[in-house]
């Protein structure tokens, strides 16, 4: 994204949030940092060096960090909004921090990497190896691909008649108040933590909770953006087709990196998703920068 495009996008996000959800100055809630969580993975490397040399290069190639430029853009937008000193943050600057942080790590393993920026512009990086089961998926499925296809090579039953072994998404029946802290990723995560605690979800679960706002519209998951298979009418041609629809930013949801990447590629579109239109057992896309795209079954 160009600097002009970034500024225009920031203004749009800020206007939507300020008009609808900013109920008091964020300076009154001063004890927070902004952060983003990304995936380091040798399998995403696309540089010219052979892998062994690339793993020992300084700095590491940007492709080791999935969608790094989107994470930089995300931190800069949040920093501008909250007036954190992130104006000098670039991909090359962040790569230096990341390379130093992973100096003693086993770089042959995929890692969860959390980048934290404090209000005075100090960067902190936490990382840990990911389990082998935490694979990266970037393909956007057609709805019928997992609704009707067998889930393994031995069964002839269609998928919807088999036991679901993937992610489960539970609707939180309590409403959550959107705010600047749902629109931007910060360490103030009370709304998400409370939603998770109501369903006893703990780290490592393949369970997620779906938040709704006080207008009975879908917001997002506690650690994921979401998209629903919905019928849409093209405003120009009038043609009607099914698309993956993610809640728009005016809802107060977060502009997650995978969400934004898929919108840029026209794989998903923004819209309003009403809770009243949700169907028990429907399949939903869960998206975040660590695992990419996963399919979940919705439980109302």
CATH number, domain containing residue 47:
3.30.470.10
Q: Do residues 294 and 151 share a domain?
A: yes
* Full domain range(s) for residue 41: 31-129
* 10 occurs within a structural domain: no
Percent of the chain surpassing pLDDT 70: 84
pLDDT tens across 241-299, in order? 899 999 999 999 999 999 999 999 999 999 999 999 999 999 999 999 999 999 999 99
> What is the model's pLDDT at position 209?
98
- Which among 166, 179, 171 is positioned nearest to 195, based on CA atoms? 171
Q: Model confidence at 47, in pLDDT bands (50, 70, 90)?
A: very high
pTM of the model: 0.84
| Cβ atoms < 10 Å from Cβ of 145 | 13
Which position has the higher pLDDT, 141 or 19?
141
Indicate if 84 and 161 belong to the same structural domain.
no
pLDDT at 90 over 90: yes
**Residues 101 and 77 occupy one common structural domain:** yes
**Average pLDDT in the 166-191 region?**
95
Q: What pLDDT does 145 receive? A: 76
Quick one: 289 and 148 in the same domain?
yes
Residue 13: inside a domain, yes or no? no
Q: What is the pLDDT at residue 183?
A: 94
Number of structural domains found in the chain? 2
Report yes or no on 153 lying in a domain.
yes
Residue 26 included in any domain: no
Same domain, yes or no, for 291 and 200? yes
State the pLDDT at residue 162: 57
Q: Which pLDDT value is given to residue 82? A: 94
Q: Is the pLDDT of residue 187 over 80?
A: yes
Return the pLDDT at 15: 54
Residue that terminates a domain, selected from 82, 107, 129: 129
Last residue of a domain, one of 94, 129, 164: 129
Domain identity same for 78 and 193? no
pLDDT at 238: 78
CATH of the domain at 211: 3.20.10.10
Assigned token pair, 10: 């920031």
Domain end, chosen from 100, 129, 158, is at 129
Weakest mean pLDDT among 20-29, 89-98, 204-213, 268-277: 20-29
Residue 9 lies in a domain: no
Same domain membership, residue 156 and residue 123? no
């Amino acid at each position: 994204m160009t600097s002009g495009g970034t500024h225009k996008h920031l203004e749009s996000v800020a206007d939507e949030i300020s008009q609808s959800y900013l109920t008091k100055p964020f300076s009154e809630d001063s004890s927070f940092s902004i952060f983003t969580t990304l995936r380091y993975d040798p399998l995403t490397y696309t540089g010219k060096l052979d892998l062994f040399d690339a793993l020992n290069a300084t700095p590491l190639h940007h492709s080791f960090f999935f969608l790094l430029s989107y994470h930089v853009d995300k931190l800069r937008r949040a920093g501008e909004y909250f007036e954190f000193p992130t104006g000098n943050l670039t991909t090359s600057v962040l790569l230096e921090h990341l390379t130093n942080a992973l100096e003693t790590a086993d770089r042959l393993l995929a890692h969860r990497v959390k980048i934290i920026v404090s209000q005075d512009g100090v960067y902190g990086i936490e990382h840990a190896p990911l389990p082998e089961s935490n694979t990266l998926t970037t393909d956007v499925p057609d709805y019928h691909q997992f609704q009707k296809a067998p889930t393994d090579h031995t069964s002839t039953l269609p998928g919807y008649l088999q036991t679901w072994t993937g992610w489960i998404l539970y609707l939180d029946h309590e409403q959550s108040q959107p705010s600047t802290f749902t629109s931007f990723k910060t360490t103030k995560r009370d709304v998400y933590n409370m939603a998770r605690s109501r369903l006893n979800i703990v780290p490592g679960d393949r369970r997620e909770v779906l938040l709704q706002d006080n207008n009975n519209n879908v917001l997002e998951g506690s650690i994921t953006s979401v998209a629903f298979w919905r019928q849409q009418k093209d405003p120009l041609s009038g043609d009607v087709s099914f698309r993956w629809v993610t809640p728009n930013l005016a809802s107060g949801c977060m502009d997650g990196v995978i969400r934004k990447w898929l919108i840029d590629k026209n794989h998903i579109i923004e819209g309003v998703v009403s809770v009243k239109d949700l169907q028990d057992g429907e399949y939903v896309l869960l998206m975040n920068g660590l695992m990419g795209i996963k399919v979940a079954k919705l439980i109302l």
